[in-house]
Amino acid sequence: MNAWPSSDALRVEPVGEHVLLVTMHRPEVLNAMNAEMGRTMHDLLLALHDDPGAVRAVVLTGAGRAFSAGADLKVRHTQDLADWTRQHAVAERSFELRVESPVPWIAAVHGVCYAGGLEAALSCDFIYAEADARFALTECRIGIMPGCMGTQNLPRAVGERRAKELILSAQPFSGAEAAQWGLVNRLCAPGTVLTEALACAERIAACAPLSVRQAKKSIHFGLQTDLHTGYRLELETWHRLLDTQDRREGIAAFNEKRAPRFLGR
């Protein structure tokens, strides 16, 4: 497996052969995001975009008692406008790279998931969360607004009217509400979310990686357009799988009643 970018602020480690566990690792400040974390995340996403190698799924979580409280505002308080803008530009590229990553990302949320932390979770393909997790986009309370796809991803998850209420009032909400509104896929018992998210990542990794990549692309880009154009995209991505070794292996394994051995070719 490739030597993936990692740092003190962002720990990256393989779990088995095909899954990466990415941990925001500043537990003393609730995993508030600083420049080091941002640069490492950008380098990791760029590496995965260029060549995911054996990686077929990624789980994103936070160390300690929180997922992430968002940007480190103590650091931001000392930055001039140029530094702030440069740091945010790295984040802007990272969030788009995560949304369009060739491999699925699963957010495993516990504790506080606020501001940029929630935007990070929203930019993953889906979210598992512990029942006592707390969510909020708090930016309007401090004179800014969500700037890492929050105003785009939250309405797509919970609907326009509810997203306006949550963003414009900076209103916190619970894990149960997040699940009820469709933002969270699964509520987990306290202390179990990482185990459940990794188990889901392993299920994804057991599927044909080219199929997962093409299906993710079809869902993501198809939803940006009308039904019939989206279906044309589905057919294009479907046809790309026909002449692949994995497609032949999948059909053979089914008929031979054995587990398939997918190679991503």
User: If DSSP codes are grouped into helix, strand and coil, which group holds residue 130?
Assistant: strand
Token pair of 157 as six digits: 């998850």
Give yes or no for a contact between 210 and 264, defined as CB atoms under 8 angstroms apart.
Answer: yes
Q: Which strand (E) or helix (H) includes residue 168?
A: helix 160-168
Burial status of residue 192 (CB atoms within 10 A of its CB: 0-12, 13-18, 19 or more): middle
- Residues taking part in catalysis: 71, 116, 119, 139
User: If DSSP codes are grouped into helix, strand and coil, which group holds residue 129?
Assistant: strand
Report how far residue 95's alpha carbon sits from residue 97's, in angstroms, rounded to the nearest whole number: 5
